[in-house]
Every structure is written in C-alpha cells, then in structure tokens.
Chains A and B, each alone.
Chain A
Amino acid sequence: MQNGQLDLVNGGWLPPDEALTQYDALLDSFQVGQQFLWKEFEYQPRVSWQLDVNGVSQGYARLAKDVGFDMLIFSSVSKSEKEAMREKQSHTQVWRTASKNFGQRKDVLAVTLDQGRNSLNSYCWPKGFWADENYLIDSPIALNKTQSEYKFDDLVKSLYADITERFEQDTTSHLFQPFGCDMAFVDAKVNYKIMDRLMEVWKELGFDKDVEIKYSTPTIFYQSVAQQNEQFAAAKNATKNETSGESKDGWKLRRDDTFPYQPTKSTYLSGYYSARPHLKQKVREFSQSVHSSLRLLSQQVLKKDADASQTAEVLQF
C-alpha cells in the first residue's frame, strides 16, 4: 500500500449502494471502514468506486465530499445517456450538488465507465481479454509467439483501435481501463501474465509512442486527471485561484442523478423503489438504535462527575 500498488477504494465497510438503504447507514458503513483503514494504514481513500449499483443518487454525490472523496467512478448510467456522453465527450463530469446552499464547495469529479457500444460490460475486461477462471469466454489466450494459435498481436491491435476511438469520446487524455470483473482474479497469475504480455506487445508494435500504457489504480488516475485539468483544481481551491488558464476545455457539469437506471433499451432497474420494505425498515431501526446509544454514551462521557467504571458500564450496554 505504501508504494501505491494496492489501492483500497471507497473505504466503506461495504461498497455503497444507495438504492436500498438510507444515507444514515451509508455513513455508518463509511465510518467503520475508514476507521479501520486509518488505524491500520493511516490511509484515507480519495476515490469512490461503484461498479454495479442501480444508479447513483445526487444525495450520494453531495455526501461524497464530506466523506473525503474527490472522484466518483461508476458505471450505472442509462444506455441513452451513455450514447449522449460519447457524442458530447462528457464521460468525465464535475458533479455539482446542492449548489444553492454550498456553491461549488461540494464539487466532485464524476467518471462514467463506458467501453463503447459493443463492449460486453462497462466495468470488466476489454473485449477479447475475458480469460479469467470464472469467465472462460476468450480462454485460453495464447501468449507465446511460437504457439500455432497465437493471435495476441491482432488482439492488441483491435484494442488499440478501440482505445483510439474512446479517446476521441472524451476530453481528458487519460483513459480508465478496468481489468477484472465480479469474482475475478481467483488465480491472479493468469490475468497478470496477460497484462504483462499486453504491455510488451503494445511497446513492440510501437503504440506506446501514441498512447502510454501502464498499471494504474483509481487514485493514480484521479491524480493524473486532476493535474491535467487546472479548471477543476481552480474550482477546488477557490481561494488559490492563480493557476494558469491553459487547461483544456472545462468539463460538463452534472446536477441530476442517474435514476432511473436503464441498462438496455427495454430494461429499467427501478424495482428497489418499492422492493424489500422489511430490509429498509430494519436498516432504519438499526441505525436509529446505533445513533441513540452513541448519543447516550457521549452524554455519559461528557458528564463531569462520571467515573471510568460508569462509562465502561454504558459502553458495555
């Protein structure tokens, strides 16, 4: 973690999904998780990462800054909106929420994952690289030139063509390419071998003169993007507004949320509005108990005449 190889994003006890639970439980989850991270590694995540949720609410975007996030990465954006994003080059947006009360103070970068019209999934491997033990779609991939079924060069060429197209659909010169999926990397060696070979072939074919390829994490990606766009930096440090205006065109603003989430033309993921009422009720009841007991505890601790044993008693309770 110290040299940035392992990135623990979110920092919540669980990845956040605001479709079912309320913000109360969300914050509790973040508290528990980030406390653990801070205690063990003195690390605070800067990037939130929601790969497979049923839409992202602006309430979450509003809270993100307070939790400590500078960038949200998500993929749950309706199909039609993704198409519009490709046309308007707006996969990277500045999400401005509650601007009536807070102005630009709650601005976060919002990155929508999208791998083009023909991709199998927006947050998994690029097309042709699905060779994980749990996804045998393209498996096995021959990586050695001496093998008779070696087609890896062609695969890299098609990826390069795809990447070039995707670069044109966005204003930033940094592109986020997820490499993994649900329950992927059960045998991590397979995937890392493919990635190592990909980078080798990428350089052999001379693509790295145009597009540099490297191992990365969401945090590194955020740093590169933020560095590149002074506009966002200027918005972030409204007081230190002396950065030069040489940045590229500013990003589009986003003010609404991504509900209702429409992954395909005829599907809406909106059942959670009315689904699982008991779970929702339980979550609210639990958060209520947690918060009231915390309140009782703090009252007891703040009492001047309370001794240690009395506080311990409350703690036990």
Chain B
Amino acid sequence: MAQTINENEEFKNQMTAELERLEKVLDKHTAAIKTEHVKKMKFIQKKVADTSLAIDDLKQEQNKTRRVLHIVPHSHTDDLSSDKELQRKLGEISSEEMYEKGVPSNFVGTVNDILNTMKDELVADGNRTFTFGDLKFFKQWYDTLN
C-alpha cells in the first residue's frame, strides 16, 4: 500500500482503466465468438430444414410411386349358372336348402362353413381381411350368431 492519498488514487485509476480495457477485450472476444457461433448455428439450421424438406419430398415421391399389391380374399357364393345340371336342380331346391345343405353340385361345403371358418381366421390375426357380397346368406349366418 502507498502512503499518500494521491498515490492511492492514481493506482486506483490505473487499475480501473485496466479493468475497463479488459472488459472491452472480453466483450470483443465474446461478440466475435457469438457471431461465429450464430453463423454456424444458422448454417446447421438451414441444413436441417433442407434435409427435412428433402425427406418430405422423397416421402411424397415414394407415396406417389409406391406400388401396392392388394390381396383381396373373397368368396362368391351366388354363381351357380355355369352348371347345366345345377340349373335343372335349382328349380327343385330353395335357397334355404342351398344354404344349409351346400350347393347341389360338385362343390363341397356350405356358406355356413365359409363364414364360420372365415370368422375364426379373422379373429386369429387382425391383419387378415375378407370380402363378401351376398347379403342374404350373410344375414342368415349373422342371425345364428346371436
């Protein structure tokens, strides 16, 4: 410590000036680093945005050109017309009998079998599907469920 007030004050002023200079330098450095960082971040942000845009584009493109094969399991239980023998028999047999006893031709099984086995398979795997268009037969079967 110096002895006089003047000496002390001079020292204090010098130190304050030094401190201010250092602060300025620090500010300068911080600003420089900050601008650099901001620049980098902006660059990366732009890259990210570009990439996500590209991903979207590619996805759209893929969806547009993605080829899908739809496997449609179905059964068609009304066509009896191709069989001459059947046409003769159709006059003698009602649709209820057809449903219960099976179609009177070389076909085995009944509509009931089709719908019952179909139901079991659909329940076993949730991905499986089935398409049916003969509503009268469907209702007859549906009524037996309840």
Which residues of A line the B interface, CB within 8 A?
3-15, 33, 36-37, 40, 49, 51-52, 123, 133-134, 163, 167, 173-189, 191-192, 195-196, 198-199, 210-218, 220-221, 224, 228, 246, 248
Contact = CB atoms under 8 A, between A and B. Distances in A.
Given A173-B65, A175-B69, A187 B109 contact: yes
A218 B72 contact: yes
Given A14-B136, A179-B73, 18 more contacts: A5-B129, A5-B130, A6-B129, A134-B108, A175-B69, A179-B74, A182-B76, A183-B75, A185-B117, A186-B114, A187-B109, A189-B117, A192-B73, A192-B121, A214-B69, A214-B127, A215-B129, A218-B131
A6 B121 CA distance: 11
Nearest to A33: B135
A215 B127 contact: yes
Contact of B134 (A3, A14, A175, A195): A14
B72 A179 contact: yes
Given A5-B122, A9-B132, A216 B72 contact: yes
A186 B67 contact: no
Given A15-B78, A182-B79, A183-B75, A5 B67 contact: no
9 contacts: A8-B131, A8-B133, A14-B136, A179-B71, A180-B75, A183-B109, A192-B125, A214-B70, A214-B71
Contacts of B133: 8-10, 15, 49, 51
Given A15-B78, A134-B109, A178-B74, A211 B69 contact: yes
Given A6-B130, A183-B75, A217-B131, A212 B67 contact: yes
Contacts of B132: 6-9
Contact of A185 (B73, B103, B125): B73
A194 B122 CA distance: 14
Contact of B128 (A37, A52, A181, A215): A215
Contact of A163 (B69, B114, B125, B134): B69
B8 interface: no
Contacts of A186: 107-110, 113-114, 117
Given A4-B129, A7-B130, A187-B109, A212 B75 contact: no
A164 to B, nearest CB: 9
Chain A CB within 10 A, most for which of B69, B113, B121:
B69
Nearest to B114: A185
B11 interface: no
B77 interface: yes
A52 B131 contact: no
A94 B127 CA distance: 30
B64 interface: yes
A184 B108 CA distance: 10
Contacts of B74: 178-180, 184
Given A134-B109, A185-B75, A177 B136 contact: no
A11 B135 contact: yes
Contacts of B76: 15, 51-52, 123, 180-184
A92 to B, nearest CB: 13
Given A6-B132, A178-B72, A133 B109 contact: yes
B73 A215 contact: yes
Interface in B82-132: 103, 107-110, 113-114, 117-118, 120-122, 125-132
Contacts of B118: 185, 188
